[in-house]
Amino acid sequence: MKKLLLLALAITAFSCNTEKKPNYVVISGKITNKLPTELSLNTQDRSFKELFNVAADGTFSDTLTVEAGSYILYDTKNPVFLYLEPGYNININYDTKDFQNSLAITGEGAPENNYLIEKINKTREIAGDNASLYNLSEQEYKDKQLAIKDSISVLLHKTKGVSKSFITKEENELQYAYLASLNIYERAHGYFTKDTNFKVSEDFLNDFEGFDYANDADYKASKSYKKIVADHYALKINKLVTNDSLSQDEAFFQVARSIPSEEIKNTFLFDVANQTIGRSKDIEAFYKNYMEASTNEENNTKITEKYNQLTAIAKGKPSPKFVDYENYNGGTTSLDDLKGKFVYIDVWATWCGPCKREIPFLKELEKGYHDKNIEFVSLSIDKVSDREKWRKMIESENLQGVQILADNDWKSQFVKDYQIQGIPRFILLDTEGNIVDANAPRPSDPKLGELLTELNI
């Protein structure tokens, strides 16, 4: 009997000592001074998004099942970069009027996440502004990036309470972040020095010699490694387009099929397809090639859903509608009000640099077609709360055409129906309100003039 009792106690002790960590995280906190219109937890690639309910006093709390990795808590203005692992129970507090200085994280997982806050601040402090950073010579730039890496490594090891597993992952990330910074130098230096022909020295990327582009574990764990791999294959795609005269889609699928790692191939396929299938000139062929190349059923289901939505806005289909959008000149405008004319819609925002670069070309276009059977509509997705910024830009730029403000920025139904994920976006409709081109050429593209001529406008 005594032996049985001792055995039972031993089993109990063993069970207590090996109790598994919860497979969920608890995230709570309080936002003071101004309640956000939306608060969400997102992955870096936006493949995961969970909305929080924020109470009237600014408090929020939720229990979520997530994989270990990097996330962003985002209130549509202030991003809180987080590292989460199952078992974490963290509390996040900040004042919207002084986000940078008031952000405070406590609880299980706080040491790792407070390190990330310090990491961001120290990196900014050492790197300085982008113009100064990317104007540096090759050696100066390398020295600066190594100084960032070394300083952050010191910070990591002196931060108390950080787990050993996190330190291992983060040291890996710091090395990959350094390498990723070398990858972008050529483009960034050329941009900031306005030297469009700039090329780095032959030995500038020697650190990449022997680099393994098929490390599944690092691809999943390190955002910088994933970026390096994506850049590597993007370069191959561009070379095929330039040297072999392949279309962007043809080059993409040829390169994707050549990726030796099944997991990396599937993720690369999905990431690119999720962002670009809507811009393909042949969505049917794109979807067919994607489904033949991808073996990830979950990803395939998501792309199929997107494909089904996109076929609803194919050429010749009735356009999704906007109804009673605020018009700069007063009153409201609906798409049906414009029937009888071709309609060229510019989806833009006052904060969008590429959108603003199209304005001079759009003005010229409007002048050239002012007496033709076409209406030019500029549909802003600025927040309704930023109405005055929108109105002031229309006035200062002397914008013409039909100037309207969407009812719910990115979440406006018209924007969602057209699967718009980036702006500017241009849409051309015929006189019956049917789609001519859901991804029409930009005003700066000579192909737009050719298209309008073909339509006898």
**Cα dihedral 134, 136, 137, 141 in deg (nearest 10):** -80
pLDDT band at 6 (very low <50, low <70, confident <90, very high): very low
| Strand, helix or coil for residue 289 | helix
What integer pLDDT is reported at residue 21 of this predicted model? Answer: 62
287-346 pLDDT, tens digit each? 999 999 999 999 999 999 999 988 889 899 999 999 999 999 999 999 999 999 999 999
Residues 354 and 424 sit within 8 Å (Cβ to Cβ)? yes
pLDDT band at 17 (very low <50, low <70, confident <90, very high): very low
Angle, vertex CA 409, rays to CA 442 and CA 301, nearest 5? 80
Q: Report, as an integer, the average pLDDT of 32-57.
A: 89
For 343, the enclosing helix (H) or strand (E) is strand 342-348
CATH 3.40.30.10 in the chain: give the residue spans.
325-454
342: which 2 tokens?
């071709």
What integer pLDDT is reported at residue 407 of this predicted model? Answer: 95
Residue listed under structure tokens 């007063």: 330
pLDDT band at 44 (very low <50, low <70, confident <90, very high): confident
> Which amino acid makes up residue 382?
D
What integer pLDDT is reported at residue 90 of this predicted model? Answer: 96
Residues 123 and 145 sit within 8 Å (Cβ to Cβ)? no
Residue listed under structure tokens 């081109």: 437
Q: Which residues make Cβ contacts (< 8 Å) with residue 438, sequence separation at least 6? A: 278, 313, 314, 315, 418, 427
Distance, in Å, from the CA atom of 235 to the CA atom of 255, rounded to the nearest integer, reads 10
Q: Report, as an integer, the average pLDDT of 151-176.
A: 96
pLDDT score of 456 more than 70: yes
> Which amino acid makes up residue 257?
R
CATH class of 325-454: alpha beta
Q: Report, as an integer, the average pLDDT of 422-450.
A: 95
> Which amino acid makes up residue 181?
S
CA 215 remoteness from chain centre = 23
> Which amino acid makes up residue 169?
K
Q: Are strands 40-43 and 49-51 parallel, antiparallel or unpaired?
A: antiparallel
179-197 pLDDT, tens digit each? 999 999 999 999 999 998 9
196-247 pLDDT, tens digit each? 899 999 999 999 999 999 999 999 989 999 999 999 999 999 999 999 999 9
CATH 2.60.40.10 in the chain: give the residue spans.
25-108
- The residues facing 346 across adjacent strands are 378, 426
Task: In the chain, count H helices and then E strands.
Answer: 17, 15
pLDDT score of 12 more than 80: no
What integer pLDDT is reported at residue 5 of this predicted model? Answer: 36
Distance, in Å, from the CA atom of 429 to the CA atom of 96, rounded to the nearest integer, reads 42
Closest CA to 425 of 356, 355, 358, 347: 347
Distance, in Å, from the CA atom of 433 to the CA atom of 335, rounded to the nearest integer, reads 8
| Strand, helix or coil for residue 258 | helix
Question: In this predicted structure, which of 39-48, 163-172, 225-234, 371-380 has the lowest mean pLDDT?
Answer: 39-48
DSSP E strands in 5-68: the ranges are: 25-32, 40-43, 49-51, 59-64
For 104, the enclosing helix (H) or strand (E) is strand 104-108
Average pLDDT value for the chain: 92
What integer pLDDT is reported at residue 185 of this predicted model? Answer: 97
Distance, in Å, from the CA atom of 420 to the CA atom of 346, rounded to the nearest integer, reads 12
pTM for the whole thing? Answer: 0.75
Residues 39 and 75 sit within 8 Å (Cβ to Cβ)? yes
- Strands of the sheet containing 25-32, edge to edge, are 59-64, 25-32, 89-95, 104-108
What integer pLDDT is reported at residue 94 of this predicted model? Answer: 97
Distance, in Å, from the CA atom of 394 to the CA atom of 97, rounded to the nearest integer, reads 29
pLDDT score of 14 more than 60: no
Q: Does domain 25-108 have CATH number 1.10.1740.10?
A: no
Distance, in Å, from the CA atom of 83 to the CA atom of 109, rounded to the nearest integer, reads 8
Question: In this predicted structure, which of 47-56, 160-169, 207-216, 424-433 has the lowest mean pLDDT?
Answer: 47-56
pLDDT band at 20 (very low <50, low <70, confident <90, very high): low
369-399 pLDDT, tens digit each? 999 999 999 999 999 999 999 999 999 999 9
pLDDT score of 8 more than 60: no
What integer pLDDT is reported at residue 10 of this predicted model? Answer: 38
What integer pLDDT is reported at residue 421 of this predicted model? Answer: 83
Distance, in Å, from the CA atom of 24 to the CA atom of 63, rounded to the nearest integer, reads 7
Q: What share of the chain is helix, strand, coil (3-state, %, to 5)?
A: 50, 15, 30
pLDDT > 70: what percent of the chain?
Answer: 95
Q: What is the end-to-end Cα distance of the chain in Å, rounded?
A: 98
Helix axes 283-293, 262-276, angle to 10 degrees: 160
Closest CA to 277 of 319, 245, 306: 306
- The residues facing 327 across adjacent strands are 404
